[in-house]
Amino acid sequence: MKFAIFGDIHANLEALNAVLEDAKNHDCTHYVCIGDIVGYNANPRECLNIIRSLDCPVVKGNHDEVASSDSELVGLNPLAQHSMQWTRDNLDSEDKLYLRELKLLRQVRDFTIVHATLDSPASWGYVTTKFDALESLGYQYTPVCFFGHTHVPAFYVKSLRIEEYTGKSLEIEPGKKYQINVGSVGQPRDGDPRSSYCIYDLGAQRVINRRIEYDIKRTQEKIFDEGLPKQLAERLSEGK
163: nearest Cα among 152, 173, 155: 155
Q: Select 8 or 22, whichever has its Cβ closest to Zn ion.
A: 8
65 binds Zn ion (CB under 5 A): no
* Residue 232 Cβ vs Zn ion, minimum distance, rounded to whole Å: 13
Cα–Cα distance for residue pair 196/207, rounded to 1 Å: 13
64 binds Zn ion (CB under 5 A): no
* Residue 1 Cβ vs Zn ion, minimum distance, rounded to whole Å: 27
Query: Number of residues in contact with Zn ion, rule: CB under 5 A?
Result: 2
Cα–Cα distance for residue pair 116/127, rounded to 1 Å: 7
36 binds Zn ion (CB under 5 A): yes
Q: Strand 2-6 to strand 30-33: parallel, antiparallel, or no bridges (unpaired)?
A: parallel
* Residue 184 Cβ vs Zn ion, minimum distance, rounded to whole Å: 6
Q: Give yes or no for a contact between 153 and 190, defined as CB atoms under 8 angstroms apart.
A: yes
Q: Select 14 or 65, whichever has its Cβ closest to Zn ion.
A: 65
* Residue 64 Cβ vs Zn ion, minimum distance, rounded to whole Å: 9
R_g of the chain, CA atoms, integer Å? 17
70-129: contacts with Zn ion (CB under 5 A):
none
Q: How far is CA 18 from CA 12, 21, 156, in A?
A: 10, 5, 26
8 binds Zn ion (CB under 5 A): yes
User: Contact positions toward Zn ion, by CB under 5 A?
Assistant: 8, 36
